[in-house]
A and B are shown apart, each in its own frame.
Chain A
């Protein structure tokens, strides 16, 4: 940051002075205002995908994502307006309509705070992709995935430069996948687990934790053979 200019704005009527280039999210944190986030992670590139961090900026036509929008001189930001609250509540209700959020305590806390009706969209079809258990290190349960994109980013330029995963499908069918859906060992994956480390919903999980949770005893887990712990074979190995 070479730009030393200070920007003056108000957030929820509090005056704020921060260096130019600061995001609204960080500026709000400086005055003790917490804006909720789901896809945002302090050590990943912000992409404004989940929109839960939207705020109302006076004069702006649309709600603005606080994780990527930067402060402007004389900006007036409202982080808890009726319009903001409604947007956040609706986003959460739509997530609950399609995703299994049973292992996302932070989102659960948000849902309670915003008075979310988890059954608001009873006709929506929850997504139930089968759990992918194709390697001895971690499982992928995309029924729990909110498509926050963090795993894809840490697999790419945010950390690992391995590029093993990306989107497949479009719209409602969108899911994180290896290319051509090859099992993880056949992808470029190096099993660093950076993806597991940033997953906010338990969609990515250590294999041994998963085995304990589905009822295996520690002794049973430790006695497993290589083929038992290699997971479900989805296709024959292509090469050595």
Chain B
């Protein structure tokens, strides 16, 4: 029987739930993972990723030495190198000298617009804060973004427009206090498994009624009172028809509307056209179901709405999210315990990376970069001369790649992200990656994006460094170092400080922006000075009190479990009139199916972590889910090789015939480079949030020959749906 050298309490590195973990370590190996039963986040529970999926950091293919490409890469002819033979191991000094030389050279020749950076929703708050600080304070660019753009950008924009905030309004665990809750565009049993447990308990033990609105028949439908199987992209008419019913039947909260909201008349007038009949014709959901759902939600004592990426990842994602916000404002199901507008954030630290200003329009704390007062405040904090910081809004994730070229972005720094899997329309992404003049990747593995890089900087995993993550319900929690770094790998914050000092020296800056932190706790001290919502957060408090939910206004403030009890950050909540916009692509005879993309339980996003874990055994190959009726029409049986073709590309993978997908919709997870779902998706963007439409590309499906399957792994039995 093994006994641990130490048991280290920390936070799970996978999804936004932010489960508390205890790593049992023997000889620097994590041989067992437990969870504290008294944790308010996960009550001793974990999912497969947190429990068993931490082995990726020991994978033999992990890179633990700085690497430089042997063949110099030039813009337009850049190639991918997965093989270590194509890389030269070098010292940290040599690698960071090269990176700082090249970045400074490009900056001095072509100016700030020629540089861009992808921060990382997997890295800590401190790491992200430093990386955006480098690019803002040293290179004077706001071309800073991360995968939030591909995730909840439209939810963030809509929430900012309507209430002036952009996070879950309530604590996830409050779901058991809901009487009625709507779950839409979210598959929590796979993507937020621990919140799903609380949702199941809310229904089974606490008598809550669940309304699922989703184009897939997800597992939570088994727990639902009402299931509204809408066609992809018909969210606005469906939720607006619910508002229409609530208005017509007088079920709205007059007092709340008068005291807390504005623009009600214009909104009410715009809902006139969304009769249940109109919504039925567009969404395919019977009008009776829509009416029942409207009544159930409106008459609840505590109603709440939970959504994930099915809402924002659309060319009308902002409007989709506004249609949900309108419902909450109409019924007053916001600003109290057990209610709320709750976008479930995907990444472990996407909330934190956003809070830390890893976004092109905002400094840390959602302070607009085009606001003079904000800019001068950060100039003082970072010792930048007055007027030195860039006031122009930067480019978003997808825009950065589109702008690659001689007159646009020439150098890209990627910390821990993998756009070559996660961007839409990957053939276009690939083209743009080849056109970069200089590319740095800071990661654990040479993934599909890092393979294009000139320099690879080996970072440590979350278990080898200290820091903080901010989870989906705004809870800042301590990440603790459990292991020494493998090989020469270094914590991201140390890499960034070392690099920043070299850049600063080469730029000949008079005054340093300050990079001499000895511990991430000192970085948090600086964050506290600039971000009012984090002012009360110290490492000492986090160690003593556990997680703290932002905003934490001062060191005596207890944190904020639910928001907006008195007022909204923008003052009154604003109703938004809406119109129906169809998806950018609609099914036709040539492309009769709508492709939805997403995740499965056992994998994480581009697969950099989970495909290097034993978890890959449980789900070793891409599968396309197709409804039995559609499959039989096409002569496709379970396990057959099929070709899925969109206007942009074609991939071959096995079919999983299942009624988890509704007729007319197929689903492909986007973790698998051997059949990358994002080759098929298109890159048209929501006009307000610039988020791509991952959930609705049109495709056709046809039989393929088994030998066309890439890799052809032995099929893995799976007993669950």
Contact = CB atoms under 8 A, between A and B. Distances in A.
B614 A136 contact: yes
Contacts of B44: 43, 159, 194, 197-198
A130 B197 CA distance: 32
Contacts of B59: 222
B31 interface: yes
A222 B717 contact: no
Contacts of A198: 44
Interface in B17-50: 26-27, 29, 31-35, 37, 43-48
B618 A191 contact: yes
Give the contact-size bracket for chain A: 35 or more
A226 B1 contact: no
Contact of A206 (B52, B197, B617): B52
A186 B2 CA distance: 30
A43 B31 CA distance: 24
A61 interface: no
Contacts of B615: 136-137, 191
B501 interface: no
Interface in A109-159: 135-138, 154, 157, 159
B601 interface: yes
A2 interface: no
A3 interface: no
Interface stretch (A20-28, A65-73, A87-95, A207-215): A207-215
Given A185-B618, A191-B48, A192-B46, A213 B719 contact: no
Given A161-B197, A213-B2, A240-B638, A189 B719 contact: yes
B173 to A, nearest CB: 14
A229 interface: yes
A229 B617 contact: yes
B109 interface: no
A191 B51 contact: yes
A194 B46 contact: yes
A159 B197 contact: yes
Contacts of A186: 717-719
Interface string A229-240: 110000001111
A13 B175 CA distance: 44
B1 A103 contact: yes
Contact of B45 (A42, A164, A192): A192
B719 A193 contact: no
Interface string B319-344: 00000000000000000000000000
A187 B43 CA distance: 25
Contact of B58 (A183, A202, A222): A222
A157 B189 CA distance: 15
A38 interface: no
Contacts of A159: 43-45, 197
A239 B60 contact: no
Contacts of B37: 42-43
B360 interface: no
Interface in A59-115: 102-103
Nearest to B1: A103
A43 B715 CA distance: 37
B13 to A, nearest CB: 16
B720 interface: yes
Nearest to B60: A222
Contact of A136 (B29, B617, B715): B617
B43 A43 contact: yes
Contacts of A192: 45-48, 51, 193
B484 interface: no
A1 interface: no
Contacts of A190: 47-48, 189, 193, 601, 720
A218 B713 CA distance: 25
A157 B45 CA distance: 13
Which residue, of B43, B52, B189, has the highest number of chain A Cβ atoms within 10 A? B52
B656 interface: yes
Contacts of B51: 137, 191-193, 196-197
Contacts of A160: 45, 197
Nearest to A191: B48
A186 B616 CA distance: 16
Which residue, of A183, A187, A193, has the highest number of chain B Cβ atoms within 10 A? A193
A209 to B, nearest CB: 4
Contacts of A157: 204-205
Contacts of B717: 183, 185-186, 237-240
B200 A161 contact: yes
Contacts of A222: 58-60
Given A157-B205, A222-B59, 11 more contacts: A43-B43, A154-B45, A159-B45, A160-B45, A185-B717, A192-B51, A192-B193, A193-B52, A194-B45, A239-B638, A240-B715
14 contacts: A43-B44, A102-B1, A137-B615, A138-B52, A154-B45, A159-B45, A191-B602, A196-B51, A202-B1, A206-B32, A207-B614, A212-B31, A223-B60, A226-B620
- Across chains A and B, which 10 residue pairs bring their CB atoms closest together, nearest first? A193-B51, A240-B639, A191-B48, A237-B717, A186-B719, A209-B31, A136-B617, A240-B715, A187-B719, A43-B37
